[in-house]
Structure 1
Amino acid sequence: MSDTQEIQAVTFGLGAEVFAVPVTLVREILDYRETFRIPGGPDYLLGLTDMRGEGVTTIDLRLRLGLSPVAPTPATRILVIDIPLEDRVLVLGLVVDRVIEVTSFRADQIGGAPDVGVRWSSDYIGGVVKRDEGFTVLVDMARIFSSQEVAQLSSCAAAAA
């Protein structure tokens, strides 16, 4: 990637933190709604969300990143994204506190993931962008879940379908 190449991203907030995912992974942004609960999943697995008749496995991204849970507000959204895996694409709904904007970052604005001073594992931080309003963390969605977690999320969704 050249330094002048731009990455379009959807930015979203979890508490005071701002994160981003490439716009190419975002399928849809839904208003928050209650999910159909799936028993036996990890604590961050909320259940299935109906998206035009399709059940989308939905997680609380705050819990997955080790942040405290919060009650949904009118700004809470479900970001439906495609996570590219080795053998397929996993469609996942991420409950986020708010969606902020679609924006662009130049490749030369993106710094490496810090390995100190952050509350979450840096394994799935794809980079950090310094902006006027603070830092935006680019999330590498393909690395946010272990292969066992992907298998568990897939089997929970299949069992409920």
Structure 2
Amino acid sequence: MATGMSDEAQFVTFALGKEVFAVPVGVVREILDYEELFRIPNGPDYLLGLRDVRGQGVPTIDLRLKLGLSKTEPTPSTRVLVLDIPLETRMLSLGMVADKVFEVIPFRRSQIEAAPEIGVRWSSDYIAGVVRRDEGFVVIVDLARLLSSGDTALLSVRNAA
């Protein structure tokens, strides 16, 4: 019989517009207030720039743009989730802008549904699962899949500098 610990996982929930997303709490190093970033010339539009996080230059992305939504307009609620994303051969440190961070919440594995099929070509590879709640859905983001190999190479260039 499974123990309660193995039957649920902790997630950090956050908003992009009116939609609620989540990432596993294990990849979240810290959550910071939004501040202007050092802009990186010729980067993709979703790469906002570098942020100094305790002496480390961390590339920061606008997840809204990466998902095809409108650009983030910073407000007093805007936060940056500093993430350590395990990839096949290394760890990628990344800042991700969220309109608002809500809470750390446990989801039972039985609550997490697969990404829905909608019958047309739609990239849902980045969706690790969907959880139904009274107020709507929470989309669990698979960050390693969301960032293509080209993205991770670009975001890792700073390590060589």
**Is residue 49 of structure 1 aligned with residue 51 of structure 2?**
yes
**Partner Cα distance (1:12, 1:70) in 2:** 13
**Is residue 125 of structure 1 aligned with residue 127 of structure 2?**
yes
1:41 Cα deviation (Å)? 1.1
**Partner Cα distance (1:14, 1:42) in 2:** 19
Unaligned runs of 5+ in 2: none
State the identity as a percent: 66
**Is residue 87 of structure 1 aligned with residue 89 of structure 2?**
yes
Q: Secondary structure at the match of 1:150?
A: helix
1:34 Cα deviation (Å)? 0.5
| 2:46 partner amino acid | Y
Unaligned runs of 5+ in 1: none
- The alignment covers a number of residue pairs equal to 157
Give matches, 1:1-161, under 5 Å: 5-116=7-118, 121-155=123-157, 157-158=158-159, 161=161
**Partner Cα distance (1:13, 1:48) in 2:** 22
TM-score, structure 1 as length reference: 0.91
CA 1:106–1:92 in 2, change beyond 3 Å: closer, same or farther?
Answer: same
1:70 Cα deviation (Å)? 3.1
Alignment check: 8 A CA contact 1:76 1:98 kept: yes
Alignment check: 8 A CA contact 1:3 1:107 kept: no
Q: Secondary structure at the match of 1:154?
A: helix
**Partner Cα distance (1:76, 1:32) in 2:** 6
**Partner Cα distance (1:117, 1:136) in 2:** 21
**Partner Cα distance (1:117, 1:76) in 2:** 34
Dislocated runs of 4+, deviation >6 Å: none
Give a deviation string over 1:20-77, Cα, whole Å, max 9, x none: 0000000000000011011121110011111122111100010011101131000000
Alignment check: 8 A CA contact 1:41 1:153 kept: no
TM-score, structure 2 as length reference: 0.91
Q: Secondary structure at the match of 1:121?
A: coil
1:3 Cα deviation (Å)? 9.6
1:115 Cα deviation (Å)? 2.7
| 2:58 partner amino acid | V
Two-structure CA RMSD over aligned residues (Å) = 1.9
Q: Secondary structure at the match of 2:52?
A: strand
